[in-house]
Amino acid sequence: MKTPNPARRSEQSRQAILSAAFDLVVESGYAKLTVEAIAARAGVGKQTIYRWWPSKGAVFVDAVLAVTGDEKGHLALPDTGDLGADLRVVLRAIVDEYNDPRLDTMSRAMTIEALNDPGINTEITERIMGPHLEATRDRLRSAQRAGQVAEDADLDVAVELLYGPIYHRWMLRTAPLTHEYADTVAEFALRALRAT
């Protein structure tokens, strides 16, 4: 069967598979994640995995989304009116996340998967990164209206100006990610974006 009937799908098995996949990555790293291990841990036949997911990476992405992604509510950045303060809060939070070994492991695994498979790449960027980037763009647009950001500033690039440096340092491990660093990046971005 190319198309099994989703109505008959076992929700229990689905969740067991996703949480098994997630736990295995956290415990042993993504390199050691195998379909057979997921099936064994979840108490599930391998075929049940192959029936519903096209690849190991897809299972993993869904697992991450199931844990982190209650993306129903449109997320938004804080908007106190002080753009600098708001950005510092957000960048510091991101730095903290990347410093959490669990999230670090997950993020590197996702990045690898995104690099390997363009399909998963779009999946990740759209469903995980996308909303966050969009929320940031919204906050910048608000600042633009308030006259804190130049009228003609390209907000897509502005977002990358905020997250790019942090991403860069995280990926390459060229230096530790500290709150001070987050503040410096925020400061630079503010200078680059401010009107006039």
Partner DNA sequence: GGAGCAAGACGAGACGTTGCGACTCGCGAG
Partner DNA sequence: CTCGCGAGTCGCAACGTCTCGTCTTGCTCC
Backbone φ and ψ for 91, nearest 5 degrees, come out as -65, -35
Please report whether residue 15 would count as binding DNA according to CB under 7 A. Answer: no
Size of the site for DNA (CB under 7 A): 28
Q: Give the range of 26-34, 124-132, 152-160, 183-191 binding DNA by CB under 7 A.
A: 26-34
Q: What's the gap between Cα 62 and its chain centre?
A: 12
**Tokens representing residue 48 in the block:** 């049940």
Q: Which does 89 bind (CB under 5 to 8 A by kind): DNA, a second copy, none?
A: none
Per the CB < 8 A criterion, the answer to whether 98 and 170 are in contact is yes
How far apart CA 120 and CA 177 sit, in angstroms, is 27
Q: Least CB distance from residue 130 to DNA, whole Å? A: 26
Quick one: which of 23, 26, 56, 104 contacts DNA (CB under 7 A)? Answer: 56
Please report whether residue 10 would count as binding DNA according to CB under 7 A. Answer: yes
Please report whether residue 111 would count as binding DNA according to CB under 7 A. Answer: no
Q: Give the range of 36-44, 66-74, 151-159, 185-193 binding DNA by CB under 7 A.
A: 36-44
Q: Least CB distance from residue 173 to DNA, whole Å? A: 23
Of 165, 159, 161, the C-alpha closest to 138 is 159
Give the helix ranges, DSSP H, for the chain: 11-28, 35-42, 46-52, 56-68, 83-99, 101-116, 118-124, 130-145, 155-172, 179-193
Please report whether residue 104 would count as binding a second copy according to CB under 8 A. Answer: no
Tokens 């991101």 appear where?
94
Q: Which does 157 bind (CB under 5 to 8 A by kind): DNA, a second copy, none?
A: a second copy
Tokens 């969740």 appear where?
15
Per the CB < 8 A criterion, the answer to whether 35 and 49 are in contact is yes
Q: Which does 161 bind (CB under 5 to 8 A by kind): a second copy, DNA, none?
A: a second copy
Q: Least CB distance from residue 87 to a second copy, whole Å? A: 13
> Given the rule CB under 7 A, which residues bind DNA?
1, 4-5, 7-10, 13-14, 16, 32-37, 42-48, 50-52, 55-56
